[in-house]
């Protein structure tokens, strides 16, 4: 810490020496988004300077500035209550959705939780696999339907690619969560006040994921940064919910969400992993709700070997959740 209150750090990583400095933020924290610094690479014993400046939302997670920013954010949290700083555990959750088009009979929202160190290692290994297969990114729907860059994949190639990606998820994430909502149940059960809050099935499933994550994190005295897919329908309604409710006393401590961001899965490998889980939970909904008798699909079976909390809201559970959400939000908004 400098005399002017600026936070200065020197980080050694991947053959680089990185010197960064950031200034106090607006809310008793530091302005990590405005972080600037020098990166000195050391190939063959020579130093080459490279200037990095403010990150955009589309920046790669493998950028050294991202690594430093997230490491500092974890070590010196900008908006955890003062009495909790330096003692709480910090995680990042990446969430995607499936089944949000108008004709879908169900909507799934799901994702994975890990810390910034694990996500950094995850992203590097994930990108290596994509590079080996000459892929720009992974998208489960395109993969399953052999569209775009997956057009020439036969079943053998598809299984080999999955068998390269799924172990990376298993090795680096701590746990997964998901929520699946049936359209017919949502339309017949969810009350108008709750619809005004959550918007649609996507909003309902996302709110339940947030609530379940908050319950889990409270038991570990932990907090999270939440990143969701930017292309999701209903993201604007969800942003408004977070913007409004995070100002309500008790909401942040209840949900443990320090920040909410929406990013493009094409440049964020953790969102590509969340896309696999959301797609598989959506596909499994017809089996779970008794519409099909086939066994669980291979990817979901593999993902299920890791600690998880997946919620399928049948009519009884949706009715209970509707009443519970109504009661909770009424109490929080008093």
Q: What is the pLDDT of residues 81-114, one digit of tens each?
A: 544 444 458 899 999 999 988 888 899 999 999 9
Q: Average pLDDT in the 38-50 region?
A: 38
pLDDT at 161: 98
Instruction: List pLDDT tens digits, range 254-282.
Output: 899 988 999 999 999 999 999 999 999 99
207: Cβ contacts below 8 Å, ≥ 6 apart: 197, 198, 241, 325
In sequence order, the β-bridge partners of residue 179 are: 109, 311
Looking at the domain covering 90-332, what would its CATH class be?
A: alpha beta
Q: pLDDT higher for 48 or 232?
A: 232
Q: What ranges do the domains of the chain cover? A: 7-78, 90-332
| pLDDT band at residue 78 using 50, 70 and 90 as cut-offs | low
In the chain, beta strands by DSSP E: 7-13, 16-22, 36-41, 48-52, 89-98, 106-114, 175-182, 222-229, 257-263, 308-313
Q: Average pLDDT in the 47-74 region?
A: 46
| pLDDT band at residue 121 using 50, 70 and 90 as cut-offs | very high
Question: Structure tokens of 235?
Answer: 């993201």
pLDDT at 75: 52
**With contact defined as beta carbons under 8 Å apart, do 89 and 221 qualify?**
yes
Q: Average pLDDT in the 216-231 region?
A: 91
pLDDT at 264: 94
Instruction: List pLDDT tens digits, range 136-195.
Output: 999 999 999 999 999 999 999 999 999 999 999 999 999 999 999 999 899 999 988 888
pLDDT at 1: 42
């Amino acid at each position: 810490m400098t005399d002017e209150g600026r936070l200065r750090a020197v980080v050694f990583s991947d053959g680089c020496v990185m010197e960064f400095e950031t200034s106090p933020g607006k809310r008793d924290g530091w302005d990590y988004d405005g972080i600037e610094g020098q990166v000195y690479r050391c190939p063959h014993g020579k130093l080459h300077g490279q200037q990095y400046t403010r990150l955009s939302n589309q920046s790669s997670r493998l950028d050294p500035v991202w690594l430093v920013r997230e490491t500092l954010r974890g070590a010196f949290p900008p908006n955890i209550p003062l009495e909790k700083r330096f003692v709480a555990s910090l995680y990042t959750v990446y969430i995607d959705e499936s089944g949000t088009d108008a004709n879908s009979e169900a909507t799934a929202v799901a994702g994975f939780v890990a810390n910034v160190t694990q996500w950094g290692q995850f992203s590097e290994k994930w990108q290596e696999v994509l590079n080996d297969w000459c892929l720009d990114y992974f998208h489960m729907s395109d993969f399953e339907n052999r569209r775009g860059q997956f057009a020439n994949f036969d079943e053998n190639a598809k299984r080999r690619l999955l068998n390269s990606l799924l172990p990376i998820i298993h090795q680096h994430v701590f746990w997964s969560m998901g929520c699946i909502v049936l359209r017919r149940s949502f339309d017949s059960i969810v009350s108008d006040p709750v619809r005004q809050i959550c918007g649609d099935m996507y909003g309902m499933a996302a709110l339940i994921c947030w609530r379940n994550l908050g319950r889990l994190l409270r038991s570990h005295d932990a907090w999270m940064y939440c990143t969701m897919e930017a292309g999701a329908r209903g993201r604007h309604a969800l942003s408004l919910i977070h913007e409004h409710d995070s100002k309500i006393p008790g909401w942040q401590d209840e949900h443990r969400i320090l920040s909410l961001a929406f990013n493009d899965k094409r440049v964020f490998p953790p969102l590509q992993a969340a896309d696999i889980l959301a797609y598989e939970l959506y596909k499994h909904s017809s089996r779970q709700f008794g519409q099909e008798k086939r066994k669980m699909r291979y990817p979901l079976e593999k993902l299920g070997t890791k600690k998880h909390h997946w919620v399928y809201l049948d009519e009884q559970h949706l009715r209970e959740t509707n009443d519970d959400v109504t009661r909770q939000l009424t109490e929080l908004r008093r």
